[in-house]
Structures are given as C-alpha cells and as structure tokens.
A and B are shown apart, each in its own frame.
Chain A
Amino acid sequence: QTVVTQEPSFSVSPGGTVTLTCGLSSGSVSSSYNPSWYQQTPGQAPRTLIYSTNSRSSGVPDRFSGSIVGKRAALTITGAQADDECDYYCVLYMGNGTWVFGGGTKLTVL
C-alpha cells in the first residue's frame, strides 16, 4: 500500500508563515488525489480545513490555504497564532474508493 508522507514536526514563529506538505512514497500528488487537510487539537475530533486541494471549509479563516507545490500537496498557514499549535493531517484518494491519511505533522508555534 502506498504511504502518504508528512513532515513529523514543524515549528513556526508567531505571525510567521509555514507550509506543511503531503506526498507519496512513490509518485507525485496531483489534484486528482483530492487532497484534503484536517486540524486536530488534543482530545478532539479532527476539523476540516481544506478540501479538493484548495477549497476552504466553512468557517476556516483565509490564513489557511491549500495548493500543489511540486510533487506534493501543501497547506500554508500565514500569520501563525498560538492556537494553530496542534496536529495537521492530510488524506489522499487512492482510487477504487479508498483513502489514505498521512502520518500527521505536529506544528509548534514558538
């Protein structure tokens, strides 16, 4: 089974910009993989941020944006805030009706 890869951890300064990425163990991510992104704080269910590569879910501030950068899907957070410190997951469509989540990125704001 293809592995979806994410940076295990990342740090950003308050007010700064960070780009988290989502790739494949083999091959390139394109919009046909329908990448979506989720934010998860400890003890809570995930929250949808981005779907279909770059569509923002209802209520998500425009500080969060999605794109394809090179061979990977990307989630960019601008103007990072303290409460952005949590885990971020991407998920990709693998065909035949199946989906695979990435390993998640733990974002630190300091």
Chain B
Amino acid sequence: QVQLQESGPGLVKPSETLSLTCTVSGDSISGSYWSWIRQPAGKELEWIGRIYNNEHTNYNPSLKSRVTMSLDTSKNQFSLNLNSVTAADTAIYYCARGSTTSPTHPWFGPWGQGTRVTVFS
C-alpha cells in the first residue's frame, strides 16, 4: 500500500522560500508522476505541478516562475520549493501520486494527509 507523508516548516516569512518534502513508502518513486496540490482555507484545490523521474516537470502556469520540484530516489522523496511567498500562498499543501493521461495512473492518488503552511511575518 503506497503512502505519502508531507513534511516541512509550518511557518514561512513573506518573500522567503517555502520548502516541503513528500516521503513515499510502499513503492519506488521512479517511473511515476508525483504532484503537489494546495488548498487555501475554505477554498478549492489548486494543482501546483508534477515531476517524473527528475527528467520531466510541469508547473501551473500561474506559479511557474516561482516553483521548482525535484526528486531524491535514494530517499524515495520528492520536494517542492516555492519562492517569494506572500500571504496568498498560505494553504494546506498535499502531495499525491499522478496524474498522467496514460492508462498507467490517470488520477491523483493516493494523497498525503496534507501539511498546513502559513506565510506570516
């Protein structure tokens, strides 16, 4: 059973970089797409981006200039860096497997439990 767990600071100061890690257990992160998705309190989900094998990344165009994702296969983890944060980046951040348009995994899931990040000075 694949499980995901987010980790990282719960508080980030404005203009600094938000850094989160997702640890995957139960399967190798190689050969799959892995995404970050966030949700401000009381609002909808927002796809941030995905990474595949440290070779391919796709980012939400509205966040692309501030986002970097990476994979560490030795630790079976993938990471999110979001720079120049503002209060608008305050949200619950989820990591999830997927998604892809191929038949292998055309959905987001499983999901991590989410980690709350507050941008606060």
Contacts and interface: CB of A to CB of B under 8 A. Distances in A.
Given A89-B44, A103-B44, A36 B106 contact: yes
Contact of A91 (B50, B56, B108): B108
B106 A45 contact: no
A52 B74 CA distance: 32
A57 B109 contact: yes
A54 to B, nearest CB: 12
Contacts, number: 68
A51 B47 contact: no
Given A45-B113, A97-B50, A57 B61 contact: no
Q: Which of A52, A91, A97, A101 has the most CB of B within 10 A?
A: A97
Chain B interface secondary structure, helix, strand, loop or mixed?
A: loop
Interface string B57-85: 01111100000000000000000000000
A36 to B, nearest CB: 5
A98 B44 contact: no
B47 to A, nearest CB: 4
B109 A34 contact: no
Interface of B: 35, 37, 44-47, 50, 56, 58-62, 94, 99, 101, 103, 106-109, 111-114
A91 B58 CA distance: 16
23 contacts: A1-B61, A34-B99, A34-B106, A36-B106, A38-B45, A38-B109, A40-B45, A47-B109, A52-B106, A91-B47, A91-B99, A91-B108, A93-B101, A96-B58, A97-B58, A98-B58, A98-B59, A98-B61, A99-B47, A101-B44, A101-B46, A101-B47, A104-B44
Chain A interface secondary structure, helix, strand, loop or mixed?
A: strand
Interface residues of A, number: 24
Nearest to B45: A101
A96 B56 CA distance: 11
B91 to A, nearest CB: 13
Nearest to A100: B47
Contacts of B106: 34, 36, 51-52
B56 A97 contact: yes
